[in-house]
């Protein structure tokens, strides 16, 4: 395993993207940096937290990112290639239903919290309630560069230069290409997860502190319009061994279709597994995949929600 040239620690985190954030480290292309970001609660939740702590969250401290790191020679129009080398998970995490947040926020107005514990070395599936075992795949939910627009920008929404994209395939071996808008790029990373389903439908995954190491390369004059990435191999093999149960939403509005597909799966899990609705909702967020199945047969589109049967088998 290649050794990092630099380490960025938990206290070197910030809470907003800005072209004016001073870099905590300047590196040369080809160098490796190890990051130790806070979890997405900014350290407000821990392995002993209860649902009462959700109501007390300070949203000004949500989603901190470690950095920024300046890459020597990076200028607007270039791209920075970030290869995620490895993750070192902590062995615990949390999933919450946060009032006012998530795809079905109107249906789930009350806070809920699940604390996860897992083996950080073997990454054996994590237990959830009676009978559920969720396969793990550590990754970083927020990863990106500073935007050129002046001011301080929220870390919550993603943008052209990356950010809070919550793509579960930002895992070991993936190379992410990010468009540079400011000198040095000003790279930051955080919001690490033990795993997540595509869509992160309740708004949280298994939010889990993880250290990670990344190598940086510079691609001059790439003129990249949006982030792109390559994966080192199959991306869902840890979930698809026993197939999926799938619900759908069909109609002229993709968002309404997504809500219908997820609601259908929640109803199915409640009926088949005796789960509460909010527990099913949070479970869907960490291991189910929301997909656009058809977007060409006007006027109606099909959104599907894939739940991996391996979780209960």
Q: Residue 212: inside a domain, yes or no?
A: yes
Q: Tell me which residue has tokens 């040095």.
A: 184
CATH of the domain at 248: 3.10.28.20
**Domain check: are 125 and 226 in the same one?**
yes
pLDDT higher than threshold 80 for residue 132: yes
Q: Domain ends where: 167, 202, 230?
A: 230
**295-311: pLDDT as tens digits:** 999 999 999 999 999 99
**Domain check: are 226 and 248 in the same one?**
no
Q: Domain ends where: 230, 261, 292?
A: 230
Region label for 56, one of left (φ > 0), alpha (ψ between -120 and 50) or beta (otherwise): alpha
Least confident of 1-5, 37-41, 83-87, 286-290: 1-5
**pTM reported for the whole predicted model:** 0.95
pLDDT, position 76: 98
pLDDT bucket at 260, cuts 50 / 70 / 90: very high
Provide the residue range defining the domain that includes 38: 6-230
pLDDT higher than threshold 80 for residue 2: no
Among 252, 274, 262, 251, which residue's Cα sits nearest to residue 107?
A: 262
**148-206: pLDDT as tens digits:** 999 999 999 999 999 999 999 999 999 999 999 999 999 999 999 999 999 999 999 99
pLDDT bucket at 130, cuts 50 / 70 / 90: confident
Average pLDDT over residues 131-159: 97
pLDDT, position 236: 78
**Domain check: are 183 and 282 in the same one?**
no
**Domain check: are 60 and 166 in the same one?**
yes
pLDDT, position 156: 94
Domain count for the chain: 2
pLDDT bucket at 18, cuts 50 / 70 / 90: very high
Please report the DSSP string for the chain in residue order: -PPPSEEE-TTSEESSB-TTSPPSEEE-TT-EEEE----TTTTS--TT--THHHHT--GGGSS-EEEEEEETT--TT-EEEEEEEEEEE-SEEEEEE-TT-STTTTT--S-EEEEEE--TTT-PPEEETTTEEE----EEEEEE---SSSS-B-SSS-BTTEEE---TT-STT-EEEEE--STT--EEEEEEES---TT-TTS---B--EEEEEEEEEETT---SS-EEE-SS-SSTTTGGG-EEEEEEEES-HHHHHHHHHHHHHHHHHHHH---HHHHHHHHHHH-EEEEEE-SSTT-EEEEEEEEGGGT-
**Domain check: are 263 and 114 in the same one?**
no
Q: Residue 1: inside a domain, yes or no?
A: no
Average pLDDT, the chain: 97
**Domain check: are 136 and 79 in the same one?**
yes
Q: Domain ends where: 211, 230, 249?
A: 230
pLDDT bucket at 1, cuts 50 / 70 / 90: confident
**Domain check: are 143 and 290 in the same one?**
no
**Domain check: are 198 and 246 in the same one?**
no
The two three-digit tokens of residue 53, written as one number: 């702590």
Among 249, 273, 248, 270, which residue's Cα sits nearest to residue 108?
A: 270
Least confident of 25-29, 238-242, 308-312: 238-242
Comparing 1 with 203, which gets the higher pLDDT? 203
pLDDT, position 217: 98
**52-102: pLDDT as tens digits:** 999 999 999 999 999 999 999 999 999 999 999 999 999 999 999 999 999
pLDDT bucket at 238, cuts 50 / 70 / 90: confident
**Domain check: are 144 and 47 in the same one?**
yes
């Amino acid at each position: 395993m290649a050794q990092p040239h630099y380490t960025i620690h938990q206290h070197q985190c910030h809470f907003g993207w800005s072209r004016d954030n001073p870099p905590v480290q300047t590196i040369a292309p080809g160098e490796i940096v190890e990051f130790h970001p806070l979890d997405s609660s900014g350290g407000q939740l821990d392995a002993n937290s209860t649902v009462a702590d959700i109501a007390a969250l300070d949203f000004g401290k949500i989603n901190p990112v470690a950095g920024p790191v300046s890459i020597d020679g990076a200028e607007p129009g270039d791209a920075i290639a970030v290869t995620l080398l490895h993750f070192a998970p902590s062995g615990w995490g949390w999933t919450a239903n946060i009032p006012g947040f998530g795809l079905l926020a109107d249906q789930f107005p009350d806070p809920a919290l699940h604390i996860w514990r897992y083996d950080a070395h073997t990454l054996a599936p994590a237990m959830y309630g009676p009978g559920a075992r969720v396969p793990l795949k550590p990754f970083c939910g927020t990863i990106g560069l500073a935007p050129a627009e002046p001011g301080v920008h929220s870390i919550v929404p993603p943008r052209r230069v990356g950010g809070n994209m919550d793509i579960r395939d930002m895992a070991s071996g993936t190379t992410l290409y990010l468009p540079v808008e400011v000198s040095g790029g000003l790279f930051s990373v955080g919001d690490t997860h033990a795993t997540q389903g595509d869509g992160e439908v309740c708004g949280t995954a298994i939010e889990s502190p993880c250290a990670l190491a990344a190598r940086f390369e510079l691609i001059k004059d790439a003129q990249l319009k949006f982030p792109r990435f390559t994966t080192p191999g199959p991306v869902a093999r840890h979930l698809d061994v026993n197939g999926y149960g799938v619900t759908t939403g069909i109609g002229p509005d993709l968002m309404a279709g997504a809500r219908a597909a997820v609601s259908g799966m929640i109803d199915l899990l409640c009926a088949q597994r005796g789960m509460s609705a909010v527990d099913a909702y949070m479970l869907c967020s960490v291991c189910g995949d929301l997909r656009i199945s058809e977007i060409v047969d006007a006027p109606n589109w099909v959104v599907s929600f894939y739940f991996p049967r391996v979780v209960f088998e």
